[in-house]
Amino acid sequence: MLIHRTLLDGALCDLRVEEGRITALSAAPLTPLPGEEVLRGGLVSPPLAEPHVHLDAALLGEQAPNLSGTLREGIANWARLREALTEQDVLDRARRTLAMYRRWGCLRVRTHVDTGSELAVRALLALREEVRAQGVQLQVVAFPQEGILRAPGRREAWERAVELGCDAVGAIPHFERCTEEGWETVRLAFALAEKYDRLVDLHCDETDDPGSRNLEVACVETLKRGWAGRVIAGHCTSLHSQENPYAAKVIELVTHSGVQIVCNPLDNVVLQGRYDSYPKRRGLTRVDQLWAAGASVGFGHDSVMDPWYALGTANLVDAAYMAVHVCQLTSQEQMVRAVRTLWTDNHRCFGGQPSIVEGAATPLLWWEVADEVELLRTRPEPRVVG
């Protein structure tokens, strides 16, 4: 296949793919070979990466509608559904959801799994091996959805999930009983990750409460260990509500520590601000200020028709589209960056983005649009090449 006069990182090129490898990449036009399929124009990118989703709960939203729209009701509804899970059900729904992701060009997925269900943990770990043969890289985070210290047995179940082979250690410090216990769980997560040589991926400060300050603790723990690039803090919505001097301090700490922030625009614009009357807070973290400070920010879809968010298509461009609107990232530069995040910063937890260079292996994506802004506007289905 020859991709003729296409955009790669904003520059025109020709690109030839043969037998799963890029055999030519040229700024000058290439001549089609006999019998070669030719795609003209558009733009090419690496496959997309999903840094934050919950496959164990995907597609269950209709069974437990979230009537209040709050995070707490979503957690309570999920806890009831969790008791009826079967291995086959978890696998079937996760496979269907991954198929949706593949349709939209996403071939790397990091899922959180509730450690309150060892059945779900084992199912998704088995699925990790199954989909590897299909060209999909799946990472699994041991995530204690209802906290670690709130009830007996939860810490042990969480530790067991990590022992079973989860790729990263999660926590939900803002859901613990008090501030000090929240901070303790952050430190426990880092200690457990160190014991088993795992990554860290926290649900961090997913609240409108400006007093929720777990992110700074996560940054300090990262600095102590020199773990830049190994730690993700997801959501971080309290940063939206905190006073500017404190937020500036934390953003500087995030940048200095190398913690990546993953913003989940679709869920958080729905879940946050539920305790407000009017005006209502948007609730998303400060993407623009994090970018300006040099921090790494990813965009996650988070939920696909689950007890927290009844909508969702597994199209990551939808998440970037929502972020552009809610965070007012509407300059040309910001819109382009929001789209490119899906194939740049979103790959950070997987070891970095795949390269599109001569000699590199495929697959890659071809988008039949003029540029990234048009991709954002129309949100088309890409063609997977290779």
Q: At what angle do helices 214-225 and 244-257 cross, to 10 degrees?
A: 30
Distance from C-alpha of 335 to C-alpha of 328, rounded to nearest angstrom = 10
Distance from C-alpha of 60 to C-alpha of 57, rounded to nearest angstrom = 6
Question: Which of 208, 210, 148, 190 has its CA nearest to residue 173?
Answer: 148
Q: Beta strand pairing status for 11-18 and 21-26?
A: antiparallel
Give the HSE-up count for residue 7: Cα atoms under 13 Å, Cβ half-sphere.
15
**Does the active-site annotation cover 130?**
no
CB-based contact 349:232 (threshold 8 Å): yes
Please pick, among 206, 252, 358, 372, the residue that the annotation labels catalytic: 206
37 CB neighbour count, 10 Å cutoff: 10
SS3 233: strand
CB-based contact 71:79 (threshold 8 Å): no
DSSP string of 116-168, one letter each residue: T-HHHHHHHHHHHHHHHTTT-EEEEEEE-TT-SSSSTTHHHHHHHHHHHT-SE
CB-based contact 202:171 (threshold 8 Å): yes
DSSP letter at 376 equals H
Residues carrying an active site annotation: 206
